[in-house]
Amino acid sequence: MEASSEKLSNITRLSKISIRTFVSQVPLLGWLLGALIAVALEHFVGTPFARALGLPKALSLFGFLIILKKPFLIPSAVAYVLLIYILPIGIVARSSASIMNKLAGKLLDFPMLFSVIIHLGLLYAVVHWWSDMSLYRNDVARFMLIAVMVTLSLNIINGYMGEFSCSHPGFLALGAYSASVFTVLLFVDDRIFGLAWLPKAIGPLFFPIALIIGGLVAAVGALAVAIPSFRTRGDYLAIISLAFMFIVKSLIENLEAVGGPRGLSSQPNWASLPVVFMCAVLAVWIINNFVRSTFGKALNAVRDNEMAADAMTVNTRRTKMTAFMFGAFWAGVAGGLYAHVVRYVNPGDFDIKKLAEVLAMVYFGGLNSVYGAIVGACGISLLGEALRPLALYKWVIIPLLLILVMIYRPTGLIAFKEFDVKKLIQPKKVSP
Amino acid sequence: MSLLQIDKMTHYFGGLRAVHNYELDIKPGQVWGLIGPNGAGKTTIFNLITGIYQPTEGKIILAGSELNGRSPHEIASMGIGRTFQNMLLWRHMTVLEHVKMARYSKLSYGLFGAFFGTPRRQKEEAESEEKAYQLLSIMGVDQFVDQIVLNLPYGAQRRVEMARALAMEPKILFLDEPTAGMNPEELVQMMKIIRNVHNDFGLAIFLIEHRMKVVMELCERIQTLVFGEVIAEGTPEEIQNNPKVIDAYLGKETVE
Ligand SMILES: Nc1ncnc2c1ncn2[C@@H]1O[C@H](COP(=O)(O)OP(=O)(O)OP(=O)(O)O)[C@@H](O)[C@H]1O
Ligand SMILES: [Mg+2]
């Protein structure tokens, strides 16, 4: 009896080790190729295959939506995910590993940018093909990418800097409304702002400007929080930023010029998947650059010991102000994108529920980590979609889950991990 | 010309007079010691000079510029590097990151470089990394570069803290009980390191110590502080033989 259970645990240990070595030998390029083949497979045979399994259509979201709506379909959903995604990805990744390792190595002979662009191109192809299957998927993909931007921008403040800020919904709102006013005023015939000033055809060229304006307005708003909060040491930020969030919301509610409580609509549909994808990539790149520079690391020094940071010549106040405004800027850009994805915003979108969601993404994924922000944003987005049938109970389950994570991994799933692009794309060492 | 000059500095914590009429005059390249019983006000003097507290009275001048009213990071970049009695390290940062951080005020690539990773940033970061490696190898802790600093043995942490203070290229180095809590072996190493730092960089050093052996061997001038007042100042021999010092402080310890 004991011998057999020992044998069993040996087997599980062995299989764990072999899965680990298997995973560690496949370069990112191999995973991307696998994913590409999986989504291609789904594209061509997904629907008939789903029907054969007794599913009404190809799974919209990896079976997440089925879990609560139609539990009796779960076995079919699992089979679908296994056969369409997991097995093809695994097989392709495994069988192409040695070639892909050579290729990844070759790519690094050129400037790194070249290899990065190829990886991003593949990633985009995967996302694009996957979201091509339905409008719903397209929306989910764009929301997830925006969530990554928001989570990362809040992680700068709550993770890297170790303060507790609650003002992000306010920054999102400022970004969403400023960018919307800019585009609607200039390019759309609208009942609030009247006729368009410029032809709509040239509008998309101005969309980056709209987003940057959204970011800048949010950054200026951030000053209103940062100046009183960082004047002295102490934990004023949490309370001031919470107040800021409510002030922004009621300000917009009372501003008839932008629709007041009824909201603002008819934003042009310029936030397409490629645009959102590019913005998210840009955000990750710039934010990651920042947090890995000495100026960004100064945030960690201020968080871990402010007195020591000061004594080592770090201008702690400037460091905090800059980081706070920088985080707000990206939240503003994300807000602008969000407004042009949903094409209707109202002040209610930017309330305490939004705050809870963003905080959950940050703390679930992991503090002080770009990987964490990505995992947190995607994980909570998927979970949110899966729990949608529960309506309000969603807001019981997500916080509960968050409490569990806090108990077992107080800093989140993937905390304090450097996002080193070179390490990510280089070929993996194959152990003999 | 004097490097660090203090004139009649007094400081109160509420009603407690922690420092009274304190005077100091350190010339470039000198090693000074500050001794005194627990609670005498030694650390407070360091904190007053480095801007953590503002003195109630008195003027502090470093290489001709007044330090009063300046913030700690300004004073640090003007040339005062320091370590702390209870070691203030950054718990999530690696050894290399610690030392590089002290180059903060020497970097000129600015936010633009930080956001976009310009060539200038790569160059400056590489330079400061090289500098950090140099200092860490002088301190004999270069084998730990990529480790989180809290995972290091105690003596090594102390040395990292000192390498960090040196990375800002100070004019004078403040050491607050650099040998506290060390075993005899680590103590000997630390004394050697302090001597090397002084000789190699020609650096002025101001050091607080409890162990008489250390102060007597390293310092050229020593001040004895009791209840915030300097009761004696002089060479190691003078201090050792000063009846007031023996009475107030040394009496309890055996001078080796
Ligand atoms: N921030 C503060 N607020 C109030 N009192 C303080 C403060 N810092 C120090 N003190 C008091 O000032 C006096 C001097 O303290 P200080 O830490 O300078 O002594 P010290 O000579 O460094 O002693 P030790 O050898 O124990 O390090 C002590 O009585 C201490 O309690
Ligand atoms: Mg002390």
Q: Which residue has a Cα nearest atom 6 of ligand 1?
A: B13
Q: Region B22-45: what's the mean pLDDT?
A: 95
Of B50, B93, B109, the CB nearest to A301: B93
For the cut 60, the answer to whether the pLDDT of residue A1 exceeds it is: no
Instruction: Tell me how far apart the alpha carbons of residues A271 and A261 are, in angstroms, rounded to a whole number.
Output: 24
Q: Ligand 1 test: best mutation among B9, B42, B253, most atoms within 8 Å of CB?
A: B42
Instruction: Tell me how far apart the alpha carbons of residues B111 and A302 are, in angstroms, rounded to a whole number.
Output: 17
Domain layout of chain A by residue ranges: 2-131, 135-423
Of A305, A312, A316, the CB nearest to B102: A312
The tokens describing B3, both together, are 């490097």
Residues of A in contact with B103 (CB under 8 A): 294
Over pLDDT 90: what percentage of chain B?
Answer: 88
How high is the pLDDT of residue A201? 82
Identify residue A85 by its one-letter amino acid code.
Y
Coil vs helix vs strand at A25: helix
Mean of the per-residue pLDDT values of chain A = 90
Identify residue B249 by its one-letter amino acid code.
Y
- Contacts of A219 by beta carbon, 8 Å cutoff, 6+ apart: A325, A326, A328, A329, A332
The tokens describing B222, both together, are 């020593």
For the cut 80, the answer to whether the pLDDT of residue B91 exceeds it is: yes
Instruction: Tell me how far apart the alpha carbons of residues A381 and A147 are, in angstroms, rounded to a whole number.
Output: 8
Instruction: Tell me how far apart the alpha carbons of residues A330 and B175 are, in angstroms, rounded to a whole number.
Output: 42
How high is the pLDDT of residue B254? 47
Instruction: Tell me how far apart the alpha carbons of residues B202 and A69 are, in angstroms, rounded to a whole number.
Output: 76
3-state SS, A341-387, equals HHCEECHHHHCHHHHHHHHHHHHHHCCCCHHHHHHHHHHHHHHHHHC
Of B52, B88, B107, the CB nearest to A294: B107
Over pLDDT 90: what percentage of chain A?
Answer: 65
Domain layout of chain B by residue ranges: 4-79+170-255, 89-156
Of A320, A373, A427, give the one whose Cα is nearest residue A148: A373
Instruction: List, for residues B112-127, the tens digit of each pLDDT value.
Output: 999 999 999 999 999 9
CB B80 within 8 A of CB B166: no
CB B117 within 8 A of CB A289: yes
Query: How far B256 CA lies from chain A's nearest CA (Å)?
Result: 34
Q: A147 vs A74, which has greater pLDDT?
A: A147
Angle between helices A135-155 and A273-292 (to 10 degrees): 20
For the cut 50, the answer to whether the pLDDT of residue B211 exceeds it is: yes
How high is the pLDDT of residue A11? 64
Q: Region A403-410: what's the mean pLDDT?
A: 88
Residues of B in contact with A316 (CB under 8 A): 73
**Least CA distance to A161: which residue of chain B?**
B92
| β-bridge mates for residue B59, sequence order | B7
Q: CA B107, B113, B118, B122 torsion: positive or negative? A: positive
* B255 interfaces chain A, CB cutoff of 8 Å: no
DSSP B21-61: EEEEEEPTT-EEEEE-STTSSHHHHHHHHTTSS--SEEEEE
In this prediction the ipTM stands at: 0.94
How high is the pLDDT of residue A234? 62
Alpha helices in A56-86 (DSSP H): 66-69, 74-80
Residues of A in contact with B76 (CB under 8 A): 310-313
Instruction: List, for residues A257-312, the tens digit of each pLDDT value.
Output: 898 999 999 899 999 999 999 999 999 999 999 999 999 999 999 999 999 999 99
For the cut 90, the answer to whether the pLDDT of residue B42 exceeds it is: yes
Q: Which of B88, B146, B164 to mutate to test the interface with A (most CBs of A within 10 A)?
A: B88
Instruction: List, for residues A84-109, the tens digit of each pLDDT value.
Output: 999 999 999 989 989 999 999 999 99
Mean of the per-residue pLDDT values of chain B = 93
Residues of B in contact with A286 (CB under 8 A): 115-116
- In terms of DSSP bridges, do strands B172-176 and A264-265 run parallel, antiparallel, or are they unpaired? unpaired
How high is the pLDDT of residue A160? 96
Of A301, A307, A315, the CB nearest to B101: A301
How high is the pLDDT of residue B256? 40
For the cut 50, the answer to whether the pLDDT of residue B31 exceeds it is: yes
Q: Is A295 close to B107, i.e. CB distance below 8 A?
A: yes
Query: Which residue, chain included where needed, has tokens 């040339």?
Result: B79
Tell me how many helices (H) and strands (E) chain B has.
10, 10
A207 Cα: distance to centroid of ligand 1 (angstroms)? 59
Q: Which of B49, B100, B115 to mutate to test the interface with A (most CBs of A within 10 A)?
A: B115
Identify residue B128 by its one-letter amino acid code.
S
Residues with a CB atom less than 6 Å from ligand 1: B 13, 16, 18, 36, 38-44, 85
R_g (Cα) of chain A, nearest Å: 23
pLDDT band at A14 (very low <50, low <70, confident <90, very high): low
Tell which CATH architecture fits domain A135-423: Orthogonal Bundle (1.10)
How high is the pLDDT of residue A431? 58
Alpha helices in chain B (DSSP H): 42-49, 72-79, 95-101, 110-116, 119-138, 154-167, 184-201, 212-218, 236-241, 243-248
DSSP character at residue B181: T
Q: Write down the CATH superfamily of domain B4-79+170-255.
A: P-loop containing nucleotide triphosphate hydrolases (3.40.50.300)
CB A401 within 8 A of CB A390: no
B206 Cα: distance to centroid of ligand 1 (angstroms)? 18
Instruction: Tell me how far apart the alpha carbons of residues B143 and B92 are, in angstroms, rounded to a whole number.
Output: 18
For the cut 80, the answer to whether the pLDDT of residue B213 exceeds it is: yes
pLDDT band at B204 (very low <50, low <70, confident <90, very high): very high
Instruction: Tell me how far apart the alpha carbons of residues B225 and B218 are, in angstroms, rounded to a whole number.
Output: 18
Q: Region B185-207: what's the mean pLDDT?
A: 93
Q: Is A305 close to B89, i.e. CB distance below 8 A?
A: yes
Question: A42-51, A193-202, B205-214, B236-245: which has the minimum mean pLDDT?
Answer: A193-202
Of A350, A349, A383, give the one whose Cα is nearest residue A364: A383
Q: Is A294 close to B100, i.e. CB distance below 8 A?
A: yes
Residues of B in contact with A232 (CB under 8 A): none
- In terms of DSSP bridges, do strands B204-208 and B31-35 run parallel, antiparallel, or are they unpaired? parallel
Indicate which atom in ligand 1 lies nearest the CA of residue B42: 21
Over pLDDT 70: what percentage of chain B?
Answer: 97
Residues of A in contact with B115 (CB under 8 A): 286, 289-290
CB B22 within 8 A of CB B9: yes
B86 Cα: distance to centroid of ligand 1 (angstroms)? 13
Q: Please report, for residues A28, A247, B171, B190, the alpha-carbon distance to residue B29 in angstroms, rounded to integers and kept in the order given.
A: 55, 57, 9, 19
Q: Secondary structure of chain A: what % helix, strand, coil (to 5)?
A: 75, 0, 20
- In terms of DSSP bridges, do strands B172-176 and B80-82 run parallel, antiparallel, or are they unpaired? parallel
As a whole number of angstroms, the longest Cα–Cα distance in chain A is: 82
pLDDT band at A233 (very low <50, low <70, confident <90, very high): low
Instruction: List, for residues A381-404, the tens digit of each pLDDT value.
Output: 998 888 888 877 888 888 888 888
Q: Which of A284, A294, A319 to mutate to test the interface with B (most CBs of B within 10 A)?
A: A294
- The DSSP H or E segment spanning B11 is strand B4-13
